[in-house]
Each structure stands twice: as structure tokens, then as C-alpha cells.
Chains A and B, each alone.
Chain A
Amino acid sequence: MIALLARDLRLAIRAGGGFGLGLAFFLIVVTLVPFGVGPQGEILARIASGILWLGALLACLLSLDRIFALDFEDGSLDLLATAPIPLEAVVTIKALAHWITTGLPLVLAAPLFAVLLHLPGPAYLWLEVSLLLGTPALSVLGTFGAALTVGLKRGGLLLSLLVLPLYVPTLIFGAELVRRGAEGMAIEVPLTMLAGITAATVALVPFASAAAIRVNLR
């Protein structure tokens, strides 16, 4: 299984832009927002946490359709499905690889981009905590969407339509955690809900993803 993770990461690096593309997209979103809402610092500071979360979510969405599509086209997915590792493990590893190549760089770069949006000082800690807790769920749910649409020729748009509604709870609790943390309000509820949703998603959704892959290979 480590071999699969190593292979996926190596492929992401060699394909070029595996790590960089999502980040660049994130930066562009953050850059475009002030053009849309105006340059006033106090407005940006108010919406910064939401924009950063939305940007992370969209950047994550960007690379989802490649999770299984390439393996499906070149036949590796058939071979992996007949290999001695369970398909549930394969999809979990795929989600992990996606998180390492997309989610983790976003988590690391978010404080930097937050400066551009005048995020208030106390919010930085909570931004990091919320992204670190929330982005794994985005990758796992994205893997589920990718598994549903793997056999389709133009699955990209459909994938977004299927996955984005599933992101709603994570987005709400993630952005809410940053907002409450920044304002010094109680953060126990959004914190535990965000962590709980991610834990449950990581534990259970891979079974659904593996089932979807099996149906699609049939």
C-alpha cells in the first residue's frame, strides 16, 4: 500500500504541476476576490476566512477527476482491482495521495494568502486548524465523486455537481470555526463537528467509493 502511495506521489511530481497547480489556482482566487468586492481592508478581513475556505474547496475540486481517470484509461485500475490489496485500501490511499498533493500544500500556503485578505491576527491559528481538520474530508468525498464518474467521458462537470453539495457541512463548520475563533467565541461545537465529520467520512466513505469502482469496472 505504501508502494501505491509512493507511486501516486511520484506520478504527481513527474507529471509536472501536481503540487503547484492547485496552489496557483488558490492564489488566483484570492487575487480576484478584491477585484470583485473592492480593496477596503475591513470588508476583506470580514470575508477572508470564507474566501480562503472556498478557494481551498475549489482548488481541491480541480484535480479530482484525475484521481481514477488515468488509472482507468491505461488499465491499471483493472489490475489493481484484481491485485491482493482490497479496493477500499486502494481508494483510501488514492484519497491520501490527493490530500498530500492538494490539501496539504493549501494548508501550508493558506496563512500566506491570508495576509493578502487582511485576515485578523487571532484567526490564523483557527484557519490552520480548520483546514488541517477539514481538507482530508474534502479529498475523501472527492474520491467518492471520482469513483462514481470514473467510467464517464465528460465526468468533470457532473463530478462537481455531485461533490459540492457533500462539501456543505465541512465548509459551514470549517468557516464557522475560523470566524468564531477569530472573535473569541466558543469554538467547541464547530471544532468537534468538523473533526467528527472528517473522522466519519474517512472511516466510512471509502467503502462507498470502492463499491462504486467495482460497479464501474463491471
Chain B
Amino acid sequence: MTLLAVENLTVSRGGLAVLEGVSFSLAAGHALVLRGPNGIGKTTLLRTLAGLQPALAGRISMPPETMAYAAHADGLKATLTVRENLQFWAAIYATDTVEAALDRMNLRALEHRAAMSLSAGQKRRLGLARLLVTGRPVWVLDEPTVSLDAASVALFAEAVRAHLAVGGAALMATHIDLGLAEAEVLDLGPFKARPPEAGGHRGAFDHDFDGAFL
């Protein structure tokens, strides 16, 4: 079953197209890793898929209420405890429990610590535990493994694998090899937007504009 299908998508940053003609589909039980050099537009693509910014062109089809997005920043509140942080998101997504998430991301021992006293890696683990309490099948993850050590990366890979096994799907932008044998890789290099002179997408303000003066 296809959970997410992207057709001929053009995404923009600051009014300029960065990626164009991106097409892929993601079925239940599959993971897709986005690769590409810095600045190619991985974050822009993921934010567009998350609905935070409009696409310039193309189509995104995804059943409603299926996606959970995790950005660079974890969205943690420093003065709340680990449990309170998770409970908040569980309430927002109307799922009942945070216990499984605490266990799976190995946060049980830190349960009552305030988020500000966590190390960077521990914070990241908490941020990823948030995905588990959303109960959403499609995970859209931006650099999920930043500041994780090898053991935590393995832990995360295990969580992703378990998620795929129950019919979930994951779309990730990452440079690290997660050891997920089943993950497909999509190199974004070929989708880099062409400049307008070469027939690429014109920014809204460029449209039909050349030749007016200059």
C-alpha cells in the first residue's frame, strides 16, 4: 500500500526553486533515505512534504493524518521533564501512552529529569521518542541521527525497523548509514533546479519578466 506519493514536485527556498521534478513513492513497510550535498534542498523538500510551505509545482498525495514530522530542532521544553514532554505530544496526537516510547528509546532512567539537564544525544533520543507517541504511520525525518552515538544510532535504527514491521514508513534525510538494509536511497543531485536560462522554473517574480528592461 502506498502511503506517500510525490509526483514531479518543485520546491522553493526564498522564492527560488531548489529542486524540481522530484518523484518517488513510499509504501507501507518501506524506508527511503534522501541523499545529497548540503544546500541541495533536503530540508526544504521535507518541510514542503510536512505542509509547512507550499510547493511551486507538482503533486503530493498522502492520506490525511498519516504523517509525523521531526525537524532539526526537537521542540523540547527545557523546564519540563522527559515524561512531561512526551505526555504533551501524546495528548496533542490523542494517543494514550508514553511508556512504550520511553522504553524503546532507552529513556526510562531519565524519565523524571528536566529536559535541560539532558545531553545533546539524550535530547535527540527524546525528540525521536516523540515520533513513537504520535501513532502516525509516515515518519518524515530531517537528520534524525545528529549528535547520536553509535549505540543510539543502532537503537534508532531498531525503532525504525520495528515501525516498518508494523506497516509504517519512513522518509529520512541523513548522511549516516543506519544499517537499514531494506532502506532505499534517493540521490537528490539529479533533481537540482536548473537556472531559468536553461528552462528551469522561474521564480514568481521572474515570470514573463525578462526583457522588460535591463
Contacts and interface: CB of A to CB of B under 8 A. Distances in A.
Interface of A: 2-4, 7, 10-11, 14-15, 71, 73-76, 78-85, 217-218
Given A10-B84, A217-B53, A3 B69 contact: no
Given A2-B91, A76-B77, A78-B50, 6 more contacts: A3-B92, A71-B75, A75-B74, A79-B70, A79-B130, A84-B92
Nearest to A12: B79
Interface residues of B, number: 30
B193 interface: no
B53 A10 contact: no
Contacts of A7: 77, 80, 84, 88
B80 A10 contact: yes
Nearest to B92: A83
B92 A85 contact: yes
B78 to A, nearest CB: 8
Nearest to A79: B75
Contact of B69 (A73, A74, A82): A82
Nearest to A2: B91
Given A3-B91, A10-B80, A11-B80, A75 B73 contact: yes
Given A79-B71, A218-B54, A15 B79 contact: yes
Main secondary structure of the interface of A (DSSP, over half): helix
Contact of B52 (A3, A4, A71, A217): A217
Contacts, number: 72
A74 B92 contact: no
A81 B92 CA distance: 11
B186 to A, nearest CB: 22
Nearest to A78: B71
Interface of B: 47, 50-54, 65, 67-80, 84, 87-89, 91-94, 130
A60 to B, nearest CB: 23
B80 A75 contact: no
Given A3-B88, A4-B92, A82 B51 contact: yes
A79 B52 CA distance: 10
Given A7-B88, A79-B71, A218-B54, A84 B94 contact: yes
A4 B88 CA distance: 7
Q: Considering residues A2, A74, A82, which has the most beta carbons from chain B within 10 angstroms of its beta carbon?
A: A82
A2 B92 CA distance: 9
B93 A74 contact: no
Contacts of A3: 87-88, 91-92
Given A7-B80, A10-B84, A83-B92, A78 B53 contact: no
A11 B77 contact: yes
A215 to B, nearest CB: 10
Nearest to B67: A82
A73 B78 CA distance: 12
A5 to B, nearest CB: 11
A82 B80 contact: no
Contacts of B53: 217-218
7 contacts: A7-B77, A7-B80, A78-B71, A82-B50, A83-B93, A85-B92, A217-B53
A81 B71 CA distance: 12
Nearest to A81: B52
